[in-house]
Amino acid sequence: MSQVRRRSGAAMVIGLAVAVGALLPTLGDAAERVAATIGTAQLKNNAVTNAKVRPGSLLYTALKPGQVARGNLAGIRAGGVLSGTFPRPRLADGAITGEALATASVSARAIAKNAVGRAELASGSIGSDELAPGAVRASDIADGAIGAAKLAPNSIRGAQIAAGAIGSSELARGAVGTSELAALPGGRVYRSTSMTLPSGSLVEVPLTDVDYAQGGAWSASQPTRLTAPVAGVYQVTASAVFQPNGTGSRGIWIAPAGAPDHPYVGEVQGASTQQGQHTEFVVSYVLHLDAGQGVSLVVRQTSGYELALVADGRRNALGLQFLSS
């Protein structure tokens, strides 16, 4: 009897297995059909919990803006153009390239001091419009960097040339002609009217008319002198014509202004004995004068009578001409 029961139980198990095997394909198809028909509308609110979501299965596109609180990101490592961890990641080194920047989006305030060096500047990228007035100093210009081709016509004026900067080596042969030379200090003045001279006295001759005067060499308020406008070496020339008289001597000197009895140089000769013959002198001398120092034409006659300097054109004259410093 027991053997019959065992056989009967085994047959039931085998039959049940066969029935389940036959039913599985049908159940699989049904599950697929159910999954295809379940959408958001079929899910009850709050039905999907954290435990139901497979790790790593959610994308950022599945999240609404602001849905994830900052505190929920703490400790999560950032990726892409970010580095570090949330909630305070930073931009990764080298993450922002030139292509990512809009035109004119970087202002001067965004650039750190001394951040831009020669290596960051493209060749020819800085023109005159980018330079502030006075921004380029002499120390910023390499020796020999500025040639004639870089200079605009008439761009260099006297104010840009340092004193003594141009020597003979800087001047091309024939570059300086008479039109380039400024008038040299000096002058020539003369007496246009006759003048009576006492006998035996040294007399500074007042001069009345000007041939030329440069740099303030002569003033009508000081008619007996010519004045050196600047310190230097000068050629001084004096001339005088005396009234005919055959008695005594005649003399002419170049003297310091105001000191006729301390002349630099002069000439004395006897009066002409020829009837109607003037006695005439010309004296020239080279000497160094300080600026403001003056010279005078000094004459004397010893005829024993009053005698005149003749009003003979420009022949009673005094000249002063600068030669060198």
Per the structure, the complete domain to which residue 318 belongs is given by 187-324
Q: Is residue 192 part of a domain?
A: yes
Cβ within 8 Å of residue 59, ≥6 positions away: none
The pLDDT of 26-43, averaged and rounded, is 63
CA-closest candidate to residue 269, choices 283, 285, 284, 252: 252
Which pLDDT does position 28 carry in this prediction?
57
pLDDT at position 26, please?
58
CB 300 within 8 A of CB 250: yes
Residue 253 belongs to a domain:
yes
Q: How would residue 147 be classed by pLDDT, with cut points 50, 70 and 90?
A: confident
Residue 60 has a pLDDT of 55
Instruction: Work out the mean pLDDT of the chain and round it to a whole number.
Output: 82
The predicted structure's pLDDT at residue 134: 79
CA distance 185 to 322: 6
* Sequential DSSP letters for 156-177: --GGGSPTT---GGGSPTT---
pTM reported for the whole predicted model: 0.51
Query: What is the reported pLDDT for 4?
Result: 46
pLDDT tens for residues 106-141?
A: 877 778 887 787 777 777 778 777 788 878 887 888
Q: Is residue 219 part of a domain?
A: yes
Instruction: Report if residue 52 sits inside a domain.
Output: no
Q: Sign of dihedral through CA atoms 274, 277, 278, 279?
A: negative
Pick 195 or 36 by higher pLDDT: 195
Grade residue 3 by pLDDT with cuts at 50, 70 and 90. Answer: low
| Greatest mean pLDDT range, 112-116, 136-140, 163-167, 259-263 | 259-263
Give pLDDT, residue 156: 81
Which pLDDT belongs to residue 22?
A: 55
User: Residue 208 maps to which CATH number?
Assistant: 2.60.120.40
Task: Answer whether residue 165 is part of any domain.
Answer: no
State phi, psi for 88 to the nearest 5 degrees.
-130, 70
SS3 90: strand
Q: Which residue has the tokens 């007042």?
A: 206
For the cut 70, the answer to whether the pLDDT of residue 285 exceeds it is yes
Question: Which residues 6+ apart lie within 8 Å of 81 measured at CB?
Answer: 91, 92, 95, 96
Q: Can you give the pLDDT at residue 80? A: 73
- What gap in Å lies between CA 311 and CA 25, rounded to an integer? 151
Q: Is residue 215 part of a domain?
A: yes
Q: What is the pLDDT of residues 52-75, one digit of tens each?
A: 777 666 655 566 666 666 656 677
Helix (H, G, I), strand (E, B) or coil at 73: helix
- Choice between 42 and 224, residue whose per-residue pLDDT is larger: 224
Per cent of the chain over pLDDT 70 is 82
Number of domains in the chain: 1
Q: What average pLDDT score do residues 148-161 get?
A: 79
Residue 173 clears pLDDT 80, i.e. is over it = yes
Residue 256: name the closest of 303, 302, 288, 232 by CA.
288
Distance CA 189, CA 222 (A): 12
Instruction: Report, as an integer, the average pLDDT of 256-275.
Output: 92
Q: Is 34 or 49 the better-scoring residue by pLDDT?
A: 49
Q: Is 2 domain-assigned?
A: no
d(CA 116, CA 93): 18
Is the residue at 76 inside a domain? no
Percent of residues, the chain, with pLDDT higher than 90 = 39
